[in-house]
């Protein structure tokens, strides 16, 4: 890949000269688009990933990065037989999760457990529950808010 970067840079110089010498506006516009594409390719090769990520992990909000419960606990709670010994939770841990989930509606509990516990995607949950993806997202967001409030108020956590 590193061998391609000098070739793209040579192409970029040729395109810049061609744009300066373009006979009319339409040709200059097409060459400008070619320059933009070539620059994108150079940036992609240098970084090793999409150079213009606008929704990367570093741009996510605190709510999207924060998990109210330990994910391994939630997975162990949702599917105890599928987890290894290091993720098994005690009865007191299971009771804590039950108490936190008790404040949720049936739909919120189902969506939250499928997403956080069984690692289903929003699309899969939407198909399972026969609702839209945005509805599933709102169920999960509300559940996370309720669980966070429960964790802050509870004496047992």
One domain, residues 97 and 121 = yes
pLDDT tens-digit map of 50-107: 666 655 555 555 555 555 555 555 666 666 555 454 456 677 777 777 787 888 888 9
The total domain count for the chain is 2
- Residue 53 DSSP code: -
Question: What range defines the domain where residue 104 resides?
Answer: 59-153
**64 falls within a domain:** yes
pTM exceeds 0.85: no
Same domain, 110 and 149: yes
Burial pattern 15-46, b for ≥16 Cβ within 10 A else e, equals beeebeeeeeeeeeeebeebbeebeebbeeee
- Note the pLDDT tens digit of each residue in 6-16: 999 999 999 99
């Amino acid at each position: 890949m590193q061998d391609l970067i000098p070739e793209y840079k040579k192409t970029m110089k040729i395109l810049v000269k061609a744009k300066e010498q373009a006979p009319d506006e339409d040709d200059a516009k097409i060459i400008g688009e070619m320059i933009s594409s070539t620059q994108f390719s150079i940036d992609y090769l240098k970084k090793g990933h999409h150079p213009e990520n606008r929704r990367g992990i570093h741009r996510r909000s605190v709510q999207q990065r924060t998990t109210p419960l330990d994910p391994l606990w939630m997975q162990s709670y949702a599917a105890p037989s599928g987890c290894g010994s290091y993720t098994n939770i005690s009865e007191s841990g299971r009771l804590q999760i039950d108490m936190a989930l008790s404040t949720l509606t049936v739909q919120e509990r189902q969506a939250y457990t499928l997403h956080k516990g069984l690692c289903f995607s929003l699309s899969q949950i939407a198909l399972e529950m026969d609702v839209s993806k945005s509805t599933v997202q709102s169920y999960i967001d509300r559940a996370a808010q309720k669980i966070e409030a429960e964790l802050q108020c509870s004496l047992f956590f």
